[in-house]
A and B are shown apart, each in its own frame.
Chain A
Amino acid sequence: MSRFVMVIDTRRCVGCHDCVVACKTENSVPEGYCRDWITEEVHGAFPTVQLEIRSERCNHCDNPPCVSCCPTGASHVHERGGVVLVTHEKCIGCKACLAACPYDARFIHPDGYADKCTFCIHRAEKGLDPACVSVCPTHCMHFGDLDDPEAEVSRLLNSRPHHVLMPDAGTKPCIFYLT
């Protein structure tokens, strides 16, 4: 068994969008759409205002509502790494998965099917990092198997404070942000 996760160090991310460009190139994401994006969150009250820059995408949740609501089984959890994927030939374009995702991580591809980040599963199966991780100039993104205690992602999560997005949504996301 393996559980692919992504760990992103928000103290290193500068929001350069290299990950976004790499994803669009690697996965031929159509113009005007994106599978990953940069979010800047400013919070606090002056003078203790904090800025967090995050590279966001599908969270490949452990409890994915997009999979449980899919009427055709097109949205499914891949046997390798628990990655959430969409089989294009099974998708009818009902958009229930878009409504079910609290992160709004999905979109309708111009060809009609639901599309989103795949954790570059075609690369991961060859032992490579996803395109976004491999190009990051600040090395703020880490990808690996959480079930392997020796993996870098496991060591980082054991040693650094971190959070996930919208934990109250109950989806158990698998992208962790180091703070």
Chain B
Amino acid sequence: MSIAASREPIDSVTLGVINNAFVNLCREMGTAMMRTSYSTIFNEGLDFSCVMFNRAGDLIGQAEFCPTMLGSAQYAAKWTIEELGYDAFEPGDVIVHNDPYRGQCHMPEHLFMMPVFCRGQLWGFVANIAHVGEIGGMAPGSFAADGTEVYQEGLRLPPIKLMRRGEYVRDLWKVILTNHRTPKTTWGDYHAMMGSLKVAEARLQELLERYGPEFLSAAADQLLDYSERFMRAEIREIPDGCYEAEDCMEDDGVTDRPYFARLKLTVRGDEVIADWRHSDPQSRGPINATFVVTAAATYSGLLHVISNDIPLNSGCYRPIRLVTKPGTLTNVRHPGASVGGNTETHPRLQNIVLRALAQVIPDRVAAAEGGTACNFLFAGVHPETGEYFTNYHIEGSGWGGTATHDGGNVLCPENGNCRNAPVEVFETKYPFLTRDYRLRPDSGGPGRLRGGLASSRHLVVMAPEITLSALMDRTKTCAWGLFGGGEGMSAHILVKRRGQDTFQRFSEAFGTLSDSKFTRVTLREGDEVLLASAGGGGYGDPLERSRDDVLEDVREGFVSRQAAEQFYRFGE
């Protein structure tokens, strides 16, 4: 028996207070996660999201976390509820779920869900989704960049109880910890996730005590409806029509050809139909997006062009309809590989939404972002501790220029909203020396509003052996500009073996099929790696950029004098 929600309208002030309470509950969860986790990708990268659901699995609270997780969370939650059934949930349970074929983004993303009860009845759920940095599979760090099926990407977990009535389900823990390469880190990160759920449960119980379960359910329902009305009103402001766009992934790590995603975006009245059916057939390599990744990218693109005042919950998504075709780049069919679809293809899809909308609301979109997280994964035995380690490192790229601002410099892709690790943390924890870390001059696409700059990182191996994998994109293609703006500079990853004079591509040095997507390359002490991210596209004609801004760019070293003369006619 469920707790019935009252249909009595609640005043807007009270709704606002409750919405803020939901948001703050999620923020507090995030702080607990950050402060108690073991892995760098958790406590520095912030590659996680904290959310809450009502009893039906609708997202009713979130905060400023990862858009790819936030947009897909409701699908994973609803799947969990439908597969397990309401009767399965008990107080103190924690359910874990990372199956991309059951509504999850990709294998590393683990959903933890805790049911919350009030007066003996299930009221809703608090949950978090986090990128667990090592989950087994064919490559340390679990980014099987040249894998061809989901079974190579790590340990796949359907919705299953990790904790039952507050007690460890030890058999499952043993299976998980046996299959992960760094079980101690998994242990710590899992407990950070569970600890944050307990924080959230306590806060939600306080709200239930203050408002009562029926009133709080009614408030959540009315917030969902309000967000839907808000989103429909925003969509009505976009002229009806059909807007098309495409972009590509440069290769899939297994075959040397581009894969295109194509969107036909139909705006009709107060709803949007995002039709991705005409994307290329799914790739053999792991750049495929699951359905929920495509959905989250579509939601994220549309949320970028509407007012920031909308309460972010499942109601926002109701007017947005998805049409996809299983077996394509934008909806991988089992058992296709998808680990890179969530990190690398997602920003491409989100950018495609903006590119389509550029035709009709040019002042509210951005040029393409660098759009690669430069996923850089390594493992080995630390020479100082003798302990085996793995790490998942990400880089920031340049974001695209907009109608009012230059693109941001060295920001992690918009799908992740994450951070990279500071050099001090990186060097303290892992046997790499950072010889150089800097902005890349001229990497931002020229424009009236310039694309954001990329970064360059020069690393030296300080251990006898490190196993390296990478999954990047935009090394052969560039972030596109808009309305006369130029392209951003491409990314690259290069290696210099000890004793050599020049950097080489990995295909030259190690015979990898792809220069940007490979696994299990063995580096030796003294080898060097140059990791450069991609710049953002420019917006508008570079010749319309203010002279003061060009001068400032040259003074700061963002743009070289040569490029300033070539693209901005600086000095004429």
Q: Are the chains A and B members of one assembly?
A: no
Chain A residues proximal to chain B, CB less than 8 Å: none
